[in-house]
Structure 1
């Protein structure tokens, strides 16, 4: 296998593996490898050898999996589950406490703007993190993200002004997303392709529980020792919970080195030569182009409503144009000039990888369109209080995490994932979103709304798992971290676009409908009603004004949901182009894995 992979030039060839394994060849210690022309070559397979042509982080994790025991694997996955549980619980608690934190400062107007930067930076941070995990190692990247997360929690606990809180948000979200991403890469490293979807589902299963824990925990801190202690406590708990996994890394890396499994490394480079070496390995110029390009392209989607002229403002137009140009420059640079590419150009244009990434982006566009203002709808139109509204909203999180376990079992059993996405995931998503056109209206029974959420939850749990499997199954172990980072980038772009579409429809249709339905005596209050949820809720249930507001919600929701349903046509195409890869008998990772 190592000899065959060495023939794949990283700058001009596609590391795409067709995982159809001939059983007879496997019994003769042979494997099928697809070269860039798509021709299978039968070569001798030293399946347990460390990939000498892989980067250091990949070599290290392959060495670890060669020497660790079954007990180590079980301990690793138990620890991963606990880390996910703690992080998810802490995130839910943080979201619940956010209004109380901002209300503690009189000058909190900067908070929404800075939160936008925090989400944006955290979304883009996975790109350089993927290279850190591949070049320096999985533990190094994980430790760095734990440090960022801890710094964010400490700053939130100690903040005395909104500026410190804003900085804390950046550290927190970069660290939080980085920790979960690093763990997902570790799961991919230590699970066979046929079991990986099940292991991903297992790792995310704590979200089923923490949905119900975060609120009461926030209440306990808020009305007990105070919100500062909530962040301070988790600044201690989070790194402590990560120690067992890091200890497991350290123990088995030492064991691999002692047994001579770890490749010997002696660069002999001077510090200047090392600087040049890592600049090339990290593809620094390419990363700067894509991160700067995406940041400039995405920012207008989040700040245009702060501009006097909206999308027509010079700031938004300039950012969009420069951002787009930089993204195109990144593609050109990676294709022809990069000494070592961030991701092989041919892999990025592979139909399975590209289809998975487009599906991720499209699902986020659709989700952010239909989910925007959903909580307000449940309170104003359906008459639910905040607690009961949160139960309906959390159907997606609970249902998708639970159903992903079922999807994991089905993929392991059948060995394929495309059929689940194409014949179940996408059609049920379209059904669930389309039904909301009818049922997310005034006087609709809340049970029908919950039914739509269940449809979308089970289909969402299917598609998220399948898109990740498609991206990973189409490449080699070397590029798993990178393709998942690219997929996350597409999702980030999709979320920005979806939120913008929702806000644009809402800002156009809702005030227009208010002017149409409101009694003449209330039409002077259109701006206040439009901008203030509390004002909407203050009108008595059944009053003429409240009914007019509910009808206006119905109009706006109808347009938003139609847009969300129509865009799912892209999902059909993006899944249809996938190769029907059989993962059941394909070995992608090495060593003692699940």
Structure 2
């Protein structure tokens, strides 16, 4: 028996009848298939290089405008956009097409990075990061969707891990780029504004050429936009984004004085956010025909466990990771290249063990106990951080924590995603992928917001306690810019005091991260089912489940029955076409194939 191929030929799952409409020679689709493969490789490479390099630029950009602490707030806003943007981009990909969605991503990258490069204030940096965050999350989800289109369940974990392989190279490439560019962060952003669209071009061309072959000629852009408006749960996206922003962003703007927690504006924002979040849940439960957050899927324990594990794991991780780059830059006497190597040890190990996890899943056709082991290792890694990031910690312990976090994350990330996808049919893969990643990124935003709140609350007082000075202007400068701190020699009393302050705040962040990291293994143990993974792209028989809420289907069925009882059939037992039109429910046909 022959083995299944690593990647099945690209298929379109939206309408099986479309293949008969156009005919082409065998060579053109094959050439486009290889172009898609090349495009995926280039897109995956620039995705990892961008994320690993520009992350280092943000700390210098915020320090340049004396708002280093605002990096956490920007990270919170980015996480909210990344969370909300995933289902948004998934809907665009489903309705308008994969190629068009990638084109939108390239445009967002270009606008975002050029805006940041020209920024002269923290507000402009924040606006640029909004555009960038939409592009980043779009590229992330679209790569996963295209991979899901092309692979079976058995192969998907391994292929997903292989697509992350560029991280193995870019840990060195990004460190080299950053060390040569910084502190000129503006030049770095301009470089990626130009390179990212260029690297996405082959994939966009390949996907758009496939689309043109299969597109019904009578449909135009206006039809596509109307279809997108009808299919996209825009109200739900707005509600969840507004609620998360109003709840979480105030944590990042809390002043150092604890009395300001009682400020009516912050309290009001939080209360309005909670009300909007409740409205979002109620709306998603009853109103939309195509909800961005299908509540019915939470009844399936594989999807529920994937959502909970992703949420709490990301919350724990970003509590201790949000200010890690700044922490190491201040507390260790390392160069920029060494700091980059250290920070991305986690990315390196999560990539390696993600590939190993995919291979294990392929060989065993199981994932639950590998997921559980990964979460336990992740908990062990964050636990060791208490000592590693203290005055007694060593360089070996610092690196060991990063490796353990990556090992556990590589196992857990791949298994969680495939487990959720195995619980739905082919037509729902894009939406369930976006849904699980949505909850994970909400955890990211919660962790970043909590870290920023703790940082802004305790860092000013710890600097005042440990830095041997009463000059408030100097203390404010140390709080607002890490570049001012690293200008002092490592043995200078000012630098030593700042180091103690950073360690004190980091101890609080890690303690909270440990408490939350206990939850995912418990969820996995009791909720995750150990499903056998097949060679199919999805579990058979799940495509038939309706996306329309059950109550609406029952009302429609009851209405159709009443209409049928009132209408008289002809004596021969048949019905007229007009009568049949009222008896048969109207359904929307896909605009594109």
Query: Structure 1 length normalisation: TM-score?
Result: 0.75
Distance 1:90 1:565, change over 3 A: closer
Contact between 2:100 and 2:208, CA under 8 Å: does it hold in 1? no
- Separation in 1, partners of 2:11, 2:39: 28
Task: Determine if contact 1:302/1:496 at 8 Å carries over to the other structure.
Answer: no
Q: Corresponding residue for 2:320?
A: 370
Q: 1:359 to 1:333 in 2, by over 3 A?
A: same
2:425 pairs with 1:465: no
Aligned to 2:561: none
Residue matched to 1:405: 355
Structure 1 stretches of 5 or more lacking a match?
1-47
Q: Deviations over 1:479-522 (max 9, x none)?
A: 22222222232223212322333344445666666677677989
Q: 2:163 is matched with which residue?
A: 203
Equivalent residue of 2:154, what SS? helix
Cα contact 1:381–1:553 (8 A) shared by 2: yes
In 1, distance between residues paired with 2:50 and 2:248?
A: 28
Match of 2:253, SS state, is helix
1:360 matched to 2:320? The reply is no
Cα deviation, 1:311-342, whole Å, max 9, x if unaligned, reads 32323222222222222222222322334433
Mapped partners of 1:112, 1:498: distance in 2: 10
1:492 paired to 2:452:
no
The residue number in structure 1 matching 2:575 is none
Counterpart-to-counterpart distance in 2, 1:418 and 1:182: 26
Within the candidate set 134, 143, 154, 1:183 is matched to 143
1:409 CA displacement: 0.9
* Residue 426 (structure 1) aligned with residue 384 (structure 2): no
1:246 corresponds to which of 196, 199, 204 = 204
* Deviation of 1:252 (Å): 3.5
Q: Give a deviation string over 1:237-256, Cα, whole Å, max 9, x none.
A: 4333323223322443455x
Question: Does the residue aligned with 2:254 lie in a helix, a strand or coil?
Answer: helix
Deviations 1:385-414 (A, max 9, x none): 443233221110111112211111111111
TM-score (ref. length: structure 2): 0.75
Instruction: Give 2:431's aligned residue.
Output: 482
Report the alpha carbon displacement of residue 428 of structure 1 after superposing the two structures with TM.
Answer: 0.7
**Distance in 1 between residues matched to 2:311 and 2:361, nearest whole Å:** 23
Contact 1:348/1:354 (<8 A) preserved? yes
Residue matched to 1:584: 534
Q: Structure 1's 132 and 383: CA in aligned 2 closer, same or farther, altered over 3 A?
A: same
| Partner SS state of residue 534, structure 2 | coil
Cα distance in structure 1, aligned partners of 2:130 and 2:438:
17
- CA distance in 1: counterparts of 2:455 and 2:72, whole angstroms: 19
Secondary structure, in 3 states, of the residue corresponding to 2:151? coil
Partner Cα separation in structure 1 for residue 257 and residue 435 of structure 2:
30
Is the 2:82–2:441 Cα contact (8 Å) retained in structure 1?
Answer: no
User: For 1:461 and 1:563, how far apart are their aligned partners in 2?
Assistant: 22
Structure 2 partner of 1:147: 107
1:547-566 superposed matches below 5 A: 550-566=499-515
Alpha-carbon distance between aligned partners in 2 of 1:167 and 1:505, rounded to the nearest angstrom: 24
Root-mean-square deviation over aligned CA pairs: 4.3
Measured in 2, the distance between the counterparts of 1:235 and 1:473 equals: 37
Query: Which residues of structure 2 form unaligned runs of 5+?
Result: 1-9, 541-593
Within the alignment, does 1:292 sit opposite 2:242 as a pair?
Answer: yes
- Tell me: CA distance 1:59–1:219, structure 2 relative to 1, closer, same or farther (3 Å): farther
Structure-2 residue corresponding to 1:347: 297
CA distance in 2, matches of 1:153, 1:524: 32
Q: Confirm or deny: 8 A CA contact 1:193 1:584 kept in the other structure.
A: yes
Q: Deviations over 1:193-220 (max 9, x none)?
A: 1111111112222122223223433565
Deviates more, 1:87-96 or 1:449-458: 87-96
Question: What secondary structure is seen at the aligned counterpart in 1 of 2:528?
Answer: coil
| Native 8 Å contact 2:59 2:71 kept in 1 | no
